[in-house]
Amino acid sequence: MLFKGGGLPHESLALQEKLFGAGPDYNFMTRIERFKNSLVRVQHFIRCCARYNLHDHADKKWFEGVAFPNEVSVLGPHSGMFIPTLKEQGSEEQIQKWVPQAEKHQIMGTYIQTELGHGTFVRGLETTATYDPKTEEFILNSPTLTSIKWWPGGLGRTCNFGIVMALLYIDGKNYGMHPFVVQLRSLKTHEPLPGLTMGDIGPKFGFDTVDNGYLQFNHFGIPRENMLMKYCQVLKNGTYTKQTRNPKFSYGAMIFVRSMVVYEVAGQGLAKACTIAIRYSAIRRQSELKKSRPEPQILDYQTQQYKLFPLLALAYAVWFTGVRMKEIYFMVNNEIKQGHTERLPELHAISSGLKAFTTSMASWGIERCRLACGGHGYSAASGLPKIYVNATGGCTYEGENTVMLLQCARFLMNIYGGVKNGRRPSGSVNYLGERISSRCTLTSEFTLKSLADAFKHRAARMIKEASERLNRLQASGNDPEDSWNLNSVVLTKAAEAHCHYYMVLVFESVVESVEDNCVKDILRQLCQLLALCGIQENSGDFIQDGFLNNDQLELVKQKQLSLLSEIRPNAVLLVDAFEFHDVQLGSILGRFDGNVYENLFKWAKKTPLNKPEDLIHRLLR
C-alpha cells in the first residue's frame, strides 16, 4: 500500500497539499463555488490516481480523504453505488459493456431509487418500466408528482448515467422493483436527453459538494438490454424469467453501502472529531485547578475527560466494528455469488442494525466533541461542523435508522422464534441459542469476558421480552401488523442492545488478538471504558431483572472514573494513532503541530467579510 497512513511519497505530499490542501478555503465559499471546486478536485483526483497508478482500495480511500476532507464528492454514488450495482446485478455481457467505461470515468453514474413521495418504503415506489415487445424497449415513466425521483447524489448536474429502480410491467402485470441502466444526458452536450426533466433539489443540511437531484420521466424509452439481468431476464418477446433466488437481490446495493458506512462514515467521522477535541484539549489552557498555579490543560479536568474519553473508546470500537463489518460483507457476498444464500438474511440484519447503531452514536459523539471545545468548537475553523453534517447524513441515507433497527429486530424475532422451535442459531446470533444465565460474573476486575457477558445477557433478555410482548399483543386480539407497531419501540431497543453487544464482542476479540502487552493494556482500558459507560448509560437494562445490583453499579461508576485518569497519559497518542493528515482533518484546532491560536488568527483575517467593501461600509455608516 503506497499511501496508507500517510506513506505518501514526500514530494507528492507537497503536491497533494497544493492540489487539495492549500487550495481556496471551503469555509469561505458559496455552495456553487464548493460544488465547482469539488468537481475540479474530482478531475485532479482521477488524474492523480492514474499518475500514481493507484489501484489499491486502501490507498484510494486514504487519498480520497485528502482530496475530499469530510465531504462526499460525486465519486461517492458513482464508485459506492453505481459501479457495485452494475457488478452485482448485471449479466456478464452488461458488466463488460458498462463497468470499464464507468471505471475509466467515461460515464459517471448514480443510484436512483428514492422518490419525492417514498424513500423508506421501497415497495411503495411508483416509477414504472413498461416493456414494449414491438420496439423491444422499456418505457420509463413518472406517473405521479410523488413518483419524481428525488435525492440521488450527482443527479442534479453531474451524472450522465444512473441505475434506476422501477416497477417492471409486462402485459399489464407488475413484477416488482427492478434495476435499469439509464443514460440521462448526451455524452456530447451533457444536456438531459429528451423526455427527462432534471435538476438539483436545492440547499441541504450538508453535502454542499454533491448535487442531489430530481428526475422526472415522460415516457422515456430504453433498450431491453438495459435491465440488469443477472438474476432475472426479460426476453425479446416479453417472457419474464428468473433464477429461484431471493427477490431481495435487487436490494443488494443497499446492503453494500450500509456495510461500508459503519467504517467509512461513523468510524472515520467520530475518530476525526475525537482527534480534534483531544488535541485541542491538550493545547487549550483555561481557569485555575489550583490557586496561584498556571492555567491547566483543559484535558486535566475530570469532566473534560468524562466527555471525551468514552468517545475515544467508542471511536476505536466503531472503527474495529466497521473493519469487521466489511470483512463479513465481502465473505457473505462471495458465498452468495457461489449460490449459497443462507447468510443473506443475517447480513441484511447486521448491516442494517450496525449502520443505524453506529451512525447514531457517531453523530451524538461528534456533537459532544464540538461542545467540549468551547467557543472555537463552534467556529468553522474547528472542522467539526463539516464533520458533523457529513456524518449525520448517514442516519438517514441508505435506510433511515429507525427503519433499519426494525429490520434488524425482524430478523432477531425470526431467529428467537426458531430457537423456541428447536432451531440452532449461528453467527452473530448464536448466543440466542444459549440459556440466559441470570448470574452476573462482573467483579471489580471487570474482565472483558465478564463485561461482554453482561451485554450478552442484556441483549438476550431484551430480545426474549420483545418476542414475548409481541406474542401477548397478538394473543390479546391485535392483528400481527398492529402488534408489531405497538411493540416497535421495544423492538428497536432490543435491536440496539444486540448491536451494542456485537460491538463490545468485536472490541474484546481485537484486544485479545493484540500481542504487544503495552498496547493490549491500553486497548483493554478503552474496551473496559466503552462497556462500563454502556452499562452506566443503560443501567436500567442491567438492573431490571436483578442481573446487576446497586453495589455492582457503584463499582462500575468507580472503575469508570478511575479509568479516566489511567487513560489521560495516552490520550493524545491514541488519537495520533488514527494517523489523520492535517488536510484530512480540515481543522485548525486539531493541527498536528498544535499551533492553534496563530493559525486561527491568520484564518480569521482571510475571511471575505474582512475584505473592505463599499456596500458594507455604506450600510454601517
DSSP state, residue 430:
G
Strand (E) positions, 146-219? 149-150, 161-170, 173-183, 196-200, 213-217
By CB under 6 A, name the one of 123, 134, 439, 618 that touches ligand LZY4JE5M.
Answer: 123
Query: In sequence order, which residues have a C-beta less than 8 Å from that of residue 546 and are 6 or more positions away?
Result: 438
d(CA 303, CA 370): 15
| Residue 201 binds ligand LZY4JE5M, judged by CB under 6 A | no
d(CA 208, CA 375): 24
| Residue 486 binds ligand FAD, judged by CB under 6 A | no
By CB under 6 A, name the one of 65, 69, 80, 154 that touches ligand LZY4JE5M.
Answer: 80
Q: Which residue number, 87 or 410, has a Cβ lying nearer to ligand LZY4JE5M?
A: 410
Q: Which residue number, 112 or 529, has a Cβ lying nearer to ligand FAD?
A: 112
Query: In sequence order, which residues have a C-beta less than 8 Å from that of residue 279 and are 6 or more positions away?
Result: 572, 575, 589, 590, 591, 592, 594
The DSSP code sequence of 3-52 is: STTT---HHHHHHHIIIIISSS-GGGS-HHHHHHHHHHHHHHHHHHHHHT
The three cell numbers locating residue 71: 465531504
Q: Which residue number, 207 or 231, has a Cβ lying nearer to ligand FAD?
A: 207
Query: In sequence order, which residues have a C-beta less than 8 Å from that of residue 386 and are 6 or more positions away?
Result: 26, 69, 70, 71, 206, 380, 586
Query: In sequence order, which residues have a C-beta less than 8 Å from that of residue 212 and are 6 or more positions away?
Result: 151, 152, 153, 154, 155, 156, 200, 201, 204
Q: Which residue number, 158 or 587, has a Cβ lying nearer to ligand FAD?
A: 158
Distances (CA, A) of 507 to 347, 493, 514, 613: 19, 21, 11, 55
Binding characters for ligand FAD, 144-163, by CB under 6 A (x = yes): -------xxx----------
Q: Choose the one of ligand LZY4JE5M, ligand FAD, none that binds residue 348, judging by a C-beta under 5 to 8 angstroms depending on kind.
A: ligand LZY4JE5M
Strand (E) positions, 230-358? 232-234, 240-242
Is the distance from CB of 137 to CB of 177 less than 8 angstroms?
no
Total residues in contact with ligand LZY4JE5M, by rule CB under 6 A = 33
| Residue 261 binds ligand LZY4JE5M, judged by CB under 6 A | yes
Site for ligand LZY4JE5M in 125-184 (CB under 6 A): 153
Q: Which residue number, 383 or 399, has a Cβ lying nearer to ligand FAD?
A: 399
Minimum CB separation of residue 494 from ligand LZY4JE5M in Å reads 15
136 noted as active-site residue: no
By CB under 6 A, name the one of 12, 146, 233, 402 that touches ligand FAD.
Answer: 402
Minimum CB separation of residue 361 from ligand LZY4JE5M in Å reads 17
Is the distance from CB of 223 to CB of 181 less than 8 angstroms?
no
Site for ligand FAD in 189-228 (CB under 6 A): 207, 212
Minimum CB separation of residue 312 from ligand FAD in Å reads 27
d(CA 147, CA 115): 5
Sequence-separated contacts (24+) of 142-145 with Cβ below 8 Å = 142/215, 142/216, 142/217, 142/218, 144/117, 145/116, 145/117
Q: Which residue number, 107 or 274, has a Cβ lying nearer to ligand FAD?
A: 107
Is the distance from CB of 205 to CB of 252 less than 8 angstroms?
no
153 is annotated as contributing to ligand binding: yes
The active-site residue out of 64, 398, 496, 508 is 398
**Which one of the spans 137-145, 255-263, 470-478, 500-508 is the region binding ligand LZY4JE5M (CB under 6 A)?**
255-263
Q: Which residue number, 19 or 389, has a Cβ lying nearer to ligand FAD?
A: 389
DSSP state, residue 68:
S
SS3 307: helix
Q: Choose the one of ligand FAD, ligand LZY4JE5M, none that binds residue 31, judging by a C-beta under 5 to 8 angstroms depending on kind.
A: none
Minimum CB separation of residue 38 from ligand LZY4JE5M in Å reads 13
Residue 191 CB neighbours (<10 A): 11
Minimum CB separation of residue 162 from ligand FAD in Å reads 9
Residues composing the chain: 621
Residue 572 CB neighbours (<10 A): 18
**Which one of the spans 22-30, 114-122, 227-235, 288-296 is the region binding ligand FAD (CB under 6 A)?**
114-122
By CB under 6 A, name the one of 21, 162, 377, 399 that touches ligand FAD.
Answer: 399
| Residue 400 binds ligand FAD, judged by CB under 6 A | yes
Rg of the chain (C-alpha set): 26
Minimum CB separation of residue 467 from ligand LZY4JE5M in Å reads 14
| Residue 354 binds ligand LZY4JE5M, judged by CB under 6 A | no
Q: Choose the one of ligand FAD, ligand LZY4JE5M, none that binds residue 109, judging by a C-beta under 5 to 8 angstroms depending on kind.
A: none
| Residue 117 binds ligand LZY4JE5M, judged by CB under 6 A | no
Distances (CA, A) of 54 to 58, 63, 67, 327: 10, 9, 14, 22
Query: In sequence order, which residues have a C-beta less than 8 Å from that of residue 454 and are 6 or more positions away?
Result: 440, 442, 531, 535, 542, 547, 548
114 is annotated as contributing to ligand binding: yes
Q: Choose the one of ligand FAD, ligand LZY4JE5M, none that binds residue 402, judging by a C-beta under 5 to 8 angstroms depending on kind.
A: ligand FAD
| Residue 114 binds ligand FAD, judged by CB under 6 A | yes
Distances (CA, A) of 64 to 16, 73, 102, 567, 586: 11, 9, 18, 32, 13
H-run or E-run covering 220: strand 220-223
By CB under 6 A, name the one of 251, 319, 357, 416 that touches ligand LZY4JE5M.
Answer: 251
Minimum CB separation of residue 194 from ligand LZY4JE5M in Å reads 27
C-alpha dihedral sign at 476, 480, 485, 487: positive
| Residue 463 binds ligand LZY4JE5M, judged by CB under 6 A | no
Residue 579 CB burial class (10 angstroms; 0-12, 13-18, ≥19): middle
| Residue 397 binds ligand FAD, judged by CB under 6 A | yes
Binding characters for ligand LZY4JE5M, 262-281, by CB under 6 A (x = yes): --xx----------------
The three cell numbers locating residue 207: 453535502
| Interior angle at CA 347, CA 344 and CA 350, nearest 5 | 150
| Residue 419 binds ligand FAD, judged by CB under 6 A | no
| Residue 415 binds ligand LZY4JE5M, judged by CB under 6 A | no
The annotated binding site for FAD is made up of 114, 153
Q: Which residues bind ligand FAD (CB under 6 A)?
A: 77, 110-114, 118-120, 151-153, 207, 212, 393, 396-397, 399-400, 402-403, 406
Q: Which residues bind ligand LZY4JE5M (CB under 6 A)?
A: 72, 76-77, 80-81, 111, 113-114, 119-123, 153, 248, 251, 254-255, 257, 260-261, 264-265, 344-345, 348, 397-399, 403, 407, 410, 414
Q: Which residues are known catalytic residues?
A: 398
